[in-house]
Amino acid sequence: MSLSAFGRSALIAAFLLLSACSKKEPDRWTEAEKTVATATTPATPPAAKPETGSFNTFFPADGTEGLKRVFIADKPGYAEASYGDDFVSVSVTVADEAAKKKFADAKETIKNFPVTTFGKNQTIALAGGKYQVKVTSKRAEDAERRKWLSRMDLAGIAAVPTP
């Protein structure tokens, strides 16, 4: 049984029409692209951080206790300075929720800001409920680190707006 040229043309046209009208299933690459896009997009955007240099004026002055101040890091939301050779390092960072929990049971304060000791080398204050001010030293005891924290302008740090 052979089809005429007209019959074959009609059959091809019907096939093309049916395939054009059918719902096209996405290929595996389209599905993978959607999965990656939703997996890498955070549910909430990260918090904006204060500009570079926002914290530098709140550090103890160069020459405090005869020590030279050297800024080690200065970037949005973070600043760090060192005083002396491995004597003390003071850093300010934007605190996340996990960091804030360290202060939930703090019973001591410096300048009315909660303070806690972390490990044997760090003493940290929470300024304004949003900034950690940390003094780290391998040689200084907790009392000495607290003295350095008290030299920081914690109220000034607390007043730095988060964008």
Give residue-wise pLDDT tens across range 49-94: 666 677 888 889 999 888 898 888 888 778 888 888 655 555 677 7
Residues forming a β-bridge with 115: 108, 125
73 and 14: one domain? no
Q: Is the residue at 47 inside a domain?
A: no
23 and 98: one domain? no
Q: Is the residue at 96 inside a domain?
A: yes
**Calpha distance 61→46 (Å, rounded):** 32
Q: Are 144 and 136 in contact (CB under 8 A)?
A: no
The predicted pLDDT at position 79 comes to: 86
Burial zone of 111 (CB within 10 Å; 0-12 exposed, 13-18 middle, 19+ buried): middle
Domain span holding position 82: 56-159
Please name the amino acid found at residue 17.
Answer: L
* Domain tally, the chain: 2
88 and 18: one domain? no
The predicted pLDDT at position 77 comes to: 78
Which two three-digit tokens encode residue 91? 């850093």
Q: Is the residue at 60 inside a domain?
A: yes
78 and 12: one domain? no
The predicted pLDDT at position 85 comes to: 66
The mean per-residue pLDDT over the stretch 122-151 comes to 90
79 and 129: one domain? yes
Whole-angstrom Cα Rg for the chain: 31
60 and 36: one domain? no
93 and 13: one domain? no
Checking if the pLDDT of 146 tops 90, the result is yes
* Model pTM above 0.75: no
Strands (E), the chain: 69-75, 78-83, 88-94, 108-110, 113-118, 122-127, 131-136
Q: Is the residue at 88 inside a domain?
A: yes
Checking if the pLDDT of 155 tops 90, the result is yes
The predicted pLDDT at position 163 comes to: 64
Q: Is the residue at 49 inside a domain?
A: no
Q: Is the residue at 46 inside a domain?
A: no
122 and 61: one domain? yes
67 and 16: one domain? no
pLDDT (tens digit per residue) in 84-135: 865 555 567 777 788 788 888 889 999 999 999 988 999 999 998 888 899 9
